[in-house]
Amino acid sequence: MDDEQSIKAIHRALDLGITFFDTADIYGAGHSERILGKAIGIHRKEVVITTKFRNTFNESMRKITGRNASREYIQAACESSLKRLGTNYIDLYQFHLGDYDPSKAQDVLEELESLVQKGKIKYYGWSTDDSQRAQLFAEGEHCVSVQHQMNVLDDAPEMIKLCEELNLASINKGPLAMGLLSGKYKGNSILPEDDVRGVRSPEWMKYFREGKPNPECLQKLNMIKEILTSNGRSLVQGALGWIWARNDKCIPIPGFKDPDQVEENASSMLYGLLEQQQMRSINDILTR
C-alpha cells in the first residue's frame, strides 16, 4: 500500500464523519498503527482508536516471532502501540488471541484493568468468535466489547445474544466477507499467491478456497443479491445495512484502501438499515 494514499483515505473518512478506527499492532508489523497515528494527528480527541495485542514480531523484518499474553508482555505491547500511534491513551484495547486458554484469561483481564487504572487505556475487549470466552472477559469492570466474525452470509446469533444480555458492543470483523461482498469476484476469479485469500490461504479463510471464491458463498450471495442492492444500494452498502439492522449493538468495521472505498462505505449511512421484512426474507432464503 502507498502510505500517502492510506492517509488520504483516513482523512476522507474523518471528513465524512467516521470516528471509529480499528487496527492491531501486528497489521503491517506495526506500520498500520504508525500510519493511523500520523493521519489522525490533531483529530485525536474526536475519534475512538482501538488496537489489539497478542503477537511478538520483528518490525524491521515484518515477521511474526511468536505469541505472548504474559503481564509483562501486555505492558510492553501497550507502550509500543502508544508510541506508534502517537497518543498517550488507547480508547479500546483488544486481546487478539481468540483461542487463548480460558483458564488463564483472568490474568490477562487483571492486567488490562491495571492499564485502565494507569490511564494507558480506557476500555478493553476480546477479539474472539467464542461466546464463552467473551463472557469471561465481560466480568471485568471496563470490558465493553467483543470483536467477532459476522456478515450477511455468516450470522452470529449466539454472540449477538450475549452482547444484548451483557450490554457489550458487537464489533463485526469481516463485514464484507474478505471482499466477497464487494461483488467484484466471480467464480473464475483467481487471487494472487501472496494474497491471504490466495492458494495458500489459512484454514480460517472460509470465503475463498484454493485462491478462488468459495462456490457455496457465491451461490448464497447470488440468492440474496437483489435484496442487498435494493433502493439503489451497492452490494457493500447492502451488506453494511444488513449488519446495522441485525442489532443496535453492532459496529461493522469494513476495510478500505483508498478514498473511493471510504466514500462507498460511508455512503451506506445515507441508505440506512435494511427493512425488517428484507431481513426476514434473507433468513428465509438462506434457511436460517
- Domains belonging to the chain, first-starting first, are 1-149 (3.20.20.100)
| pLDDT for residue 189 | 92
Cell, residue 264? 462507498
Sign, CA dihedral 146-152-154-155, equals: positive
In the chain, the largest separation of any two C-alpha atoms, in whole Å, equals 53
Cβ–Cβ under 8 Å, residues 139 and 105: no
Q: What is the pLDDT of residue 13?
A: 97
Find the radius of gyration of the CA atoms of the chain. Answer: 19
User: Model pTM?
Assistant: 0.94
pLDDT, position 73: 95
DSSP, collapsed to helix, strand or coil, labels residue 143 as: strand
Q: How far is CA 153 from each of CA 89, 165, 170, 229, 285, rounded to the nearest angstrom?
A: 36, 24, 17, 15, 11
Residue 65 has a pLDDT of 87
Return the pLDDT at 285.
98
Q: What is the pLDDT along the chain (288 residues), one digit of tens a residue?
A: 799 999 999 999 999 999 999 999 999 999 999 999 999 999 999 999 999 999 888 888 888 888 889 999 999 999 999 999 999 999 999 999 999 999 999 999 999 999 999 999 999 999 999 999 999 999 999 999 999 999 999 999 999 999 999 999 999 999 999 999 999 999 899 999 888 899 988 888 899 998 999 999 999 999 999 999 999 999 999 999 999 999 999 999 999 999 999 999 999 999 999 999 999 999 999 999
Identify the bridge partners of residue 170 per DSSP, sorted by sequence position.
Answer: 146, 250
Cα–Cα distance measured from residue 227 to residue 202, given in angstroms and rounded to the nearest whole number: 31
Contact 111, 74 (CB under 8 A): yes
Q: 27 an active-site residue?
A: yes
pLDDT value of residue 283 = 98
130 grid coordinates = 467464542
Following DSSP, what letter does each residue of 58-126 receive, concatenated? Answer: ETTTTEEEEE---HHHHHHHHHHHHHHHT-S-EEEEEE--TT--GGGHHHHHHHHHHHHHTTSEEEEEE
Distance CA 250, CA 255 (A): 16
Question: How many Cβ atoms are within 10 Å of 99's Cβ, its own excluded?
Answer: 9
Q: Quick one: which H or E segment has residue 21?
A: strand 20-22
SS3 category, 28: helix
Residues 45/34, Cβ–Cβ less than 8 Å = no
To 5 degrees, how large is the angle CA 52–CA 93–CA 46?
110
Q: Please give the pLDDT value at position 139.
A: 95
**Which residue in this structure is represented by grid cell 469481516?**
174
What pLDDT does residue 22 have?
98
Chain centroid, CA 233 distance in Å: 22
Q: Among the options 27, 73, 89, 271, which is catalytic?
A: 27
- Per-residue pLDDT at 207: 94
| Alpha-carbon gap, residue 115 to 119, rounded angstroms | 6
